[in-house]
Amino acid sequence: MTAAPTSPAFDADYALEDRYRVESGRIFITGNQALVRLPLMQRQRDLAAGLNTAGFISGYRGSPLGTYDMNLWEAKAFLDANQIRFEPGLNEDLAATAVFGTQQAPLHAGARVQGVFSMWYGTGPGVDRSCDALKHANYAGTSKHGGVLALMGDDPGAKSSSIAHQSEHAMIHCGIPVLNPSSIQDYLDLGLYGFALSRYSGCWIGFKCLTDTIESSGSVSVAPGRVQIVTPTDYEPPAAGLHIGWANLPLQVEERLFEHRLAAVRAFVRANGLDRVVIEGARRRLGIVTTGKAYGDLRQALEELGLDERKLRDLGISIYKVALSWPLEPERLRAFAAGHDDLLVVEEKRPVIEEQLASILYNVSPRPRLSGKQDPLGRPLVPQIGELNPGVVAGILRRWIGEFAPDWTSALTPLPATPLLTVQAGGLARLPSFCSGCPHNRSTVVPEGSIALGGIGCHGMAVWLPERRTLAVNQMGAEGANWIGQAPYVEIPHIFQNMGDGTYFHSGLLAIRAAVAANVNITYKILVNGAVAMTGGQPIEGEEMAGEITTPEIAHQLAGEGIGTIVVLSDDIEKYVPGTFPAGVRILDRSEIDRVQKELREIPGVTAIVYDQTCAAEARRLRKQGKLPEPDKRVVINELVCEGCGDCSVQSNCISIEPIETEFGRKRIINQSSCNKD
């Protein structure tokens, strides 16, 4: 047995739940957990201030906020104890509207609380699809003792998204100010400032949650006095106030937001010093302006270049860290810029700060030279695609210094022998594949002579398999709508369209209705695996409430939309209760898929297959937990009999079938560990 560490910092009584319980000192926490802790802290602050508030969280999962809901479910006892309600959204825009409602609640006579502090969350595409809701909600505003943080899940490198994302522009479009935290500590600190800012200004506040920060973990300080809110003394709100009311005349609302609330936002940021000088050079040669994760990249890059804080000061390099990237607070920025020869903006993807900064400083004289997406000579400098990383930023700095401050070159650490990392814009080197036993590995097969359209979800991987003849993916919930625009102009009589059950419930049913309305020849394949598999296997919304949507219910809904031919395929047709399906729905074993598809493609109009088989990863989890019986059959390949033709790999497309080198040549083996026993 190893002895317990004797370090004084070691706390033998520390429990995992302390990350939510401890009220001072340091805790170890992940980005997701920090976003669970944040509303708990807000509630405690409100209690201490004598405010009767409650918390409300709603949104929809997606990268990199894919498991936020799971973290919230896990912390239910803490949320309950703090009057915080987590209500998973059916989709992002309806969730945003529910959050909108929390700000209206105190307007009713006899409301039970003085305010509801709320958090909305969505992945980048979820932000995009919700702009109408977010805009209406933000134009209407927040309540004085409520406040809203809108968590924008951005996956800039499209590591697990269909599109590379940066949500600032969508938020700007909705008039929502954007906080850009650069670390988990910032999640807590800026989160508390964010609620206060929302209450002060009447605005929703965007809160950027990036893959690199949300998926990291670390030790952070939760000292009670860390965040002290300062009320601005240089801002006077209009007589009608800034907060939400029932009367919302469009032009008055517009004026209130853009003329008054955003001025209040800037005043708050200024008064609380949210944008701040992190390093002040002894001379004013180069001022670097940065924000969010790029700040961390910059600090690491400077370290790699051998530029420690003392050297930076001596050379005349300063750093300005922006917390609120839109709307940029101009006064402190002007003070920082004054007297600098050069400014360099280091921000990821398309410019947000740089363009505001250029317009803020345009009429300042003398003004520093500006570098950012371009150098002062108009050549590309900071890439606006892919992701930044310390290696890329170090390369940018090295180049800038070489060209515009060559006298500093000798201060830099010489280039390492190994090549620096570069922006990953060329796509992934290795594509993911279906898990062993994945139902989508069978259900996405198309019959000879047919093609299919892909969709959002794990089954979207069919697009990467040429023999599946599955074409491009569009946004979640629009599956098949592109066929309405293609069908009249092509010689292809029919198409198959895959759609996961999570997507179906989120928004996909409406796309099916559109196909019925347009009367196109299409067969929807609703892939029921009982989980939102791609984001971690969450239940389809509804389970917590009235019971998860079932295959018979889906069949009834499809019939209700006017689809005449519906066939259910499953690995276990015995499980259905007789009489629960609409009349005429056929229930067949999954092995019939080819025949059924060939039949349905000949039927004019919209037809549907509901392919029902539990997600293999989910089944594996359930078996481990003893909630699903272990099958009493295993499949093995006898190496002595195997002729090594490899056809089993081709036919099954299963990753558990592996090559094995034997003295009789290459044979096949089934990896019994990764096999999911389908």
For the CB of residue 530, give the shortest distance to ligand TPP in the complex, in Å. Answer: 9
For the CB of residue 517, give the shortest distance to ligand TPP in the complex, in Å. Answer: 22
Contacts of 80 (CB under 8 A, 6+ apart): none
For the CB of residue 92, give the shortest distance to ligand TPP in the complex, in Å. Answer: 6
Kindly tell me which of 531 and 600 has the beta carbon lying closer to ligand TPP.
Answer: 531
For the CB of residue 611, give the shortest distance to ligand TPP in the complex, in Å. Answer: 11
579 Ramachandran zone, left/alpha/beta (phi>0; psi -120 to 50): left
Kindly tell me which of 395 and 477 has the beta carbon lying closer to ligand TPP.
Answer: 477
For the CB of residue 550, give the shortest distance to ligand TPP in the complex, in Å. Answer: 14
For the CB of residue 156, give the shortest distance to ligand TPP in the complex, in Å. Answer: 15
For the CB of residue 509, give the shortest distance to ligand TPP in the complex, in Å. Answer: 12
State the residues that interact with ligand TPP by CB under 6 A: 60-62, 92, 123, 125-126, 129, 162, 440, 456-459, 476, 500-503, 529, 531-535
Residue 489 CA: distances (Å) to CA of 451, 481, 484, 495: 16, 14, 10, 14
Over the range 284-319, which residues count as b (16 or more CB within 10 Å of their CB) and which as e?
bbbbbbbbbbbbbbbbebbebbebeeeebeebbbbb
**Three-class SS of residue 247?**
coil
CA 141 to chain centre: 24
Kindly tell me which of 459 and 590 has the beta carbon lying closer to ligand TPP.
Answer: 459
**If you write DSSP's letter for every residue of 512-567 in order, what string do you get?**
HHHHHHHT--EEEEEEE-SSBGGGT-BPPTTTTTT----HHHHHHHHHHTT---EE
Kindly tell me which of 147 and 460 has the beta carbon lying closer to ligand TPP.
Answer: 460
Kindly tell me which of 185 and 433 has the beta carbon lying closer to ligand TPP.
Answer: 433
Determine the residue type at 56.
F
20 Ramachandran zone, left/alpha/beta (phi>0; psi -120 to 50): alpha
Kindly tell me which of 106 and 125 has the beta carbon lying closer to ligand TPP.
Answer: 125
Q: Which residue from 21, 24, 65, 64 is spatially nearest to 40, judged by alpha carbons?
A: 21
* Tokens (6 digits) for 179: 């906080």
Kindly tell me which of 42 and 162 has the beta carbon lying closer to ligand TPP.
Answer: 162
Residue 112 CA: distances (Å) to CA of 54, 102, 106: 9, 12, 8
Kindly tell me which of 334 and 621 has the beta carbon lying closer to ligand TPP.
Answer: 621
Which residue's CB comes closest to ligand TPP? 500
Over the range 46-85, which residues count as b (16 or more CB within 10 Å of their CB) and which as e?
beeeeeebbbbbbbbbbbbbbbbbebbbbbeebbeebbbe
CA distance 533 to 423: 29
For the CB of residue 656, give the shortest distance to ligand TPP in the complex, in Å. Answer: 19
Kindly tell me which of 29 and 499 has the beta carbon lying closer to ligand TPP.
Answer: 499
For the CB of residue 152, give the shortest distance to ligand TPP in the complex, in Å. Answer: 12
CA 427 to chain centre: 19
CA distance 533 to 524: 19
Kindly tell me which of 290 and 498 has the beta carbon lying closer to ligand TPP.
Answer: 498
For the CB of residue 438, give the shortest distance to ligand TPP in the complex, in Å. Answer: 9
